[in-house]
Amino acid sequence: MSRVLMLLLLSVALTTVAVAADAPASPSAKAGTASAELHRFFDEEWERGLRESPETASYRGDARYNDRWSDISLAAIAAHQAADRDALARLRAIDRAALPAQDQLSYDVMAWQLEKAVERQQYREYQRAVSQRGGVQTAEGIAEVLPFATVKDYRDWLARMRGIPAQVDATIVLLREGMAAGNVPPRVLMERIPGQIAAQVVADPGRSPFYRPFTRFRDGVPQAERAGLEAEARTVVASDIVPAYRRFAEFFETEYLPATRETIAAADLPGGSAYYDFLARQFTTTELGAEEIHAIGLREVARIRGEMERVKGEVGFKGDLAAFFEHLRTDPAYFHETPEALLEAYQAISKRIDPELVKIARTIPRLPYGVRPIPDNIAPDTTTAYYQPGATDGSRAGYYYVNLYRPEVRPTWEMMALSLHEAVPGHHFQFARGLELPGVPTFRRVGYFTAYGEGWGLYAERLGYDMGLYDDPLDRMGQLAYDMWRAVRLVVDTGMHAKGWSRQQAIDYFMDNSPKTLQDVTNEIDRYIGWPGQALAYKIGQLKISELRARAEAALGPAFDLRDFNDAVLVTGSVPLETLEQHIDAWIAGQQTAKGAVGG
């Protein structure tokens, strides 16, 4: 029975009950009915999302689909898109006015997500099925979040390994459709992919990235089973995986790479500038256009340069800001010599931060986090660090992944700001607090709006001042460098995708205004080319949260408590910025009533 039919039958049943009672339903009864219907809808949509994306289920810690990949056939994609349109229609049929306030918030968040999902269908992003950041060529990366604690876990992984040829073939179909439609990525990015594919084409099956889980077993896997699992994995690598990736390499290098485009702008894709405008609105959760965002970026760059000049004077550096940047990029004193030393330093910084968290928050998440290296096969082509959320049920901790590739380009002065952003009180606080929110549907507990999430992460970098962690002026320079990094993004992202900037022009602008190394800057610029609009969300989100903090401080005066404000920002879970602003305004009014506080 379809979900639509189920809701129709439910509607008929409820109507029949009301008529039989020969009396109108009370407001509380209407609210109860609408709320029950809404939560059934949320539950069904959550389950649909996990079925359609087994990888998402695995990342959430739900093992039911660990033996399969997403169906990325054209028929399945069409079915998923139709289901999104159907879901939006079903949601709109629920009486929002009859819902209690918390359910109205959940309704609005889900409506925003579905509306954007339906709107973006016209741009057929699935036709660009690989990027330098990932795709079928790095599919084994999901093993990082799988438990591998029982024989079944290994059997599930073997099933996924056997599914790689079908995933490769389906990816080729999508890419060929993109070629026919002129919907292809920039060649400068795709030139990174052959090396990633080559890492999968191994002569010794034991050196396959897919084989890594079989190099170590936990106690839950009986000794008698291990040799058989290892042998089966070697066979699958040799007979299924390696031939599939050889086939993919042949297609990619002879057909696809020559068909990719020389240009870099999102405006050159099907849909033109409207596509980039959509991405800017979707990622920032605002109505800001490219010109407005570009202007905000220029203002922020100028402001931060002034603060950098002050730090340069404080440390007594003789020379202009460009020379100071070069000093920070190249002086060996600012770099660790080995990956092992760099990892230990990241771990030490994380432990230094932990006891200071009580200064900026009343609620500390229960879920722990750890520090891990980014896998070697993707480290050269990815960012300095990232955060992987814990499992929804709390069975897996969150992890702060750090890039140990070429430690000679990973400066120590950036490590504090980076750790505050990616671990605590940044993304780990945000995601772990979300998982602990009481009385909200699962999609909100694990939801992620880039402007909110990355805005909080960037705002968290500045919380280092409130925590007393920037006593070293070079650490403060690191915070300014990271603030500048996100301000520069506003300029270069809009510059490349809406104003005709070249890749080299963007790299030069970044290098002129930031002490980040050329390795990082090049990877960042390529990320913005391959993920248009996403980088705009960080600074826009940070500016909004900072604006709301200033508003609260002015309104509450001496009664303002930073811990309460930060908790109020996190208590909604991830939401669009407009929703956050409405919530904080209501929180300020409530604080004024409770404390009798009036600011100056």
Contacts 24+ apart (CB under 8 A), 24-29: 27/98
Report the length, in residues, of the chain. Answer: 600
Q: Give the DSSP per-residue string, 356-375.
A: GGGGT-S---SS-EEEEEPP
DSSP 24: P
- Residue 533 contacts by C-beta under 8 Å, 6 or more apart in sequence? 266, 276, 279, 280, 282, 283, 284, 493, 497
Burial 22-50 (b: 16+ CB within 10 A, else e): eeeeeeeebbebbbebbeebbeebeeebb
Contact 102, 197 (CB under 8 A): no
Distance of CA 596 to the CA centre of its chain: 40
Q: Tokens representing 566?
A: 């930060």
HEC states along 458-491? HHHHHHHHHCCCCCCHHHHHHHHHHHHHHHHHHH
For residue 401, give Cα distances in angstroms to 4, 334, 371, 379, 458.
42, 21, 6, 10, 17
DSSP 221: S
- Residue 61 contacts by C-beta under 8 Å, 6 or more apart in sequence? 145, 390, 391, 392, 393, 395, 396
Ordered per-residue pLDDT tens for the chain, 600 residues = 333 333 333 333 323 323 333 444 455 656 679 999 999 999 999 999 999 999 999 999 999 999 999 999 999 999 999 999 999 999 999 999 999 999 999 999 999 999 999 999 999 999 999 999 899 999 999 999 999 999 999 999 999 999 999 999 999 999 999 999 999 999 999 999 999 999 999 999 999 999 999 999 999 999 999 999 999 999 999 999 999 999 999 999 999 999 999 999 999 999 999 999 999 999 999 999 999 999 999 999 999 999 999 999 999 999 999 999 999 999 999 999 999 999 999 999 999 999 999 999 999 999 999 999 999 888 887 889 999 999 988 899 999 999 999 999 999 999 999 999 999 999 999 999 999 998 899 999 999 999 999 999 999 999 999 999 999 999 999 999 999 999 999 999 999 999 999 999 999 999 999 999 898 899 999 999 999 999 999 999 999 999 999 999 999 999 999 999 999 999 999 999 999 999 999 999 999 999 775 565
- Omega into 425 within 30° of 0, i.e. cis? yes
Half-sphere exposure of 421 toward its Cβ, with a 13 Å CA cutoff? 27
CA dist 330 and 335 (Å) reads: 9
User: In this structure, which amino acid lies at residue 73?
Assistant: S
pTM: 0.88
Interhelix angle 272-284/101-120, rounded to 10 degrees, is: 160
| Cα four-point dihedral sign 133, 139, 143, 145 | positive
| Cα four-point dihedral sign 100, 101, 107, 108 | positive
Q: Tokens 């509306």, residue? A: 115
Contact 60, 446 (CB under 8 A): yes
CA dist 585 and 413 (Å) reads: 36
Map residue 134 onto helix, strand or coil: strand
